[in-house]
Amino acid sequence: MLLMEKDLQSKHLGYRPKNLSCSQCASLIDISSFKPLDHFFCPQCNQETVVPAKLGIYEICGFLGRGAMGRVYLANDPLLHREVAIKILRENLSTSPKMWALLEQEGKIAAGITHANVIQIYTMGKILGRPYIVMELANYASLYDLMAQGLISEALATQIAIDVIKGLRAAYQLHLIHGDIKPANILITSKQHAKITDFGLARYLDYDQEVERWGTPYYIAPEKSEQLREDFRSDLYSLGATLFHAMAGYAPYEGKTGEEVISKSLKSSIPKLHKANASISKEMSELIFKLMRKNPDDRFWSFDQALACFEDLQENCYKLGSCKRLKSGDNVHSDQQKSWIHGLRNLIVDDDVPDEKI
């Protein structure tokens, strides 16, 4: 249920502490001259933070990150004694009906998916003329954050693949495709499991109306770039490109502009992951190659098939002792030995098959 904007305005403006302790260096900062939700940088350590605010029952107490559409905040739910994440549409987009519709679509679509690998939506509302979504907090980091620290290990990449495929399969059972799988939209929990977020570009398979094709050029499937019909295999391509980037340290196709990246993704050969990172097994490299085939018909024909391959990769890795089961606090970056997986060759493309011309 959407709360009335005027109620949220009065509650929001009434929550104004005079001082705030920096979450990074603990310095006490005078914030009496700031308004609630104002952003500022700590004068001691330059940590970006936000002036606390009260949004309905939720107490915003920290800044988590920003995206193209909005900012995401850490908040407390005093009734259920839990932390939540709140995404608020950027102020300069609040007058755009299209942006309102995208954020509301994200909330409504994600709220209809109940699955452990999809971020849960709790409620939606408005504050100061801007829509917001209250959602589950993934209490670790995004894959994008982890990639900024170094290469992702094959063990973690395998677990991410399994979790994301399961989440996408749950959405697909409702005839939904995500449309924007990328590192920033994959959140990693403290137990090293992945959850999908940001269904703002998701759409139903039977939706035939002309739509703008948005997405991050590094990860969008060729059929999306060419304005052709998308399906679940487009999300699988994006997952493959994302995991390639995470383990190789660079995107599969790079360029100075989005147009150049897209052109290369359509015309250049598919790069081999094990050649970009020698510590990655050839079996993982072949699975990524399969996900990224330019023709959707050459990719996995179902989520179940893709899931079975990555689960076999993981299980054989454990049996051979070349990787261990990930636990909270484990090093998630690449230092594992190669694993040798048998029985997958009939499901994945041969490494020497040339790329098709686009």
Could you read off the pLDDT of 179-223 as tens digits, one per residue?
A: 889 999 999 998 889 999 987 666 655 544 444 445 578 999 999
Distance CA 330, CA 261 (A): 34
Residues 6+ apart with CB under 8 A from 139: 83, 189, 190
Q: How many CB atoms lie within 10 A of CB 348?
A: 19
Bigger pLDDT: 222 vs 326: 222
The residue extents of the domains of the chain are 10-17+39-136, 141-320
Per-residue pLDDT for 272 more than 80?
yes
Strand pairing category for 19-21 and 28-30: antiparallel
Write out the CATH class of domain 141-320.
mainly alpha
Residue 338 Cα distances to 313, 318, 326, angstroms: 11, 12, 16
Distances, alpha carbon 210 to alpha carbons 43, 203, 213, 228, in Å: 49, 12, 9, 11
CA distances from 113 to 106, 286, 313, 346 (A): 11, 31, 27, 33
Average pLDDT value for residue range 9-29: 70
Residue tagged 């290990």 (tokens): 153
What is d(CA 313, CA 122) in angstroms, rounded to the nearest whole number? 35
Look up the CATH superfamily of 10-17+39-136: Phosphorylase Kinase; domain 1 (3.30.200.20)
Is the CB of residue 56 less than 8 Å from the CB of residue 125?
A: yes
CA 40 to the chain's CA centroid: 26
Residue 330 pLDDT exceeds 60: no
pLDDT tens for 112-141 read 889 999 999 899 888 777 888 899 998 778
The reported pLDDT for the residue numbered 212 is 44
CB–CB of 50/38 below 8 Å? yes
Taking the C-alpha atoms of residue 171 and residue 108, their distance in angstroms, rounded to an integer, is 13
- Tell me what pLDDT residue 188 has: 93
pLDDT band at 107 (very low <50, low <70, confident <90, very high): confident
For the chain, percent of residues with pLDDT exceeding 70: 79
Confidence of residue 15 (pLDDT cuts 50, 70, 90): low
First to last CA, the chain: 48
Hey, which of 95-99, 178-182, 293-297 has the most confident mean pLDDT?
293-297
Q: Which two tokens stand for residue 350?
A: 């041969």
Supply the pLDDT for residue 71.
86
Under the phi-then-psi rule, with left for phi > 0, alpha for psi from -120 to 50, and beta for the rest, what region is 27? Answer: beta
| Residue 67 predicted with pLDDT over 60 | yes
Angle at 91 between CA 87 and CA 93, to 5 degrees: 90
Residue 169 pairs in a beta bridge with none
This prediction has a pTM of: 0.79
The larger pLDDT score, comparing residue 153 to residue 47, is at 153
Q: What is the DSSP string of 188-235?
A: E-TTS-EEE---TT-EETT--S-------TTT--HHHHTTPPP-HHHH
Return d(Cα 211, Cα 202) in angstroms, integer. 11
Q: What are phi and psi of 324, to 5 degrees?
A: -115, 165
More confident residue, 94 or 5: 94
Confidence label for 354 from pLDDT (cuts 50, 70 and 90):
very low
User: What's the confidence (pLDDT) of residue 37?
Assistant: 81
pLDDT tens for residues 228-259? 888 999 999 999 999 999 999 999 999 988 88
Give the closest residue to 185 by CA, choosing from 204, 175, 171. 171
Residue 150 zone, left/alpha/beta (φ > 0; ψ -120 to 50; rest): left
pLDDT of residue 214: 53
Partner residues linked to 76 by β-bridges: 59, 83
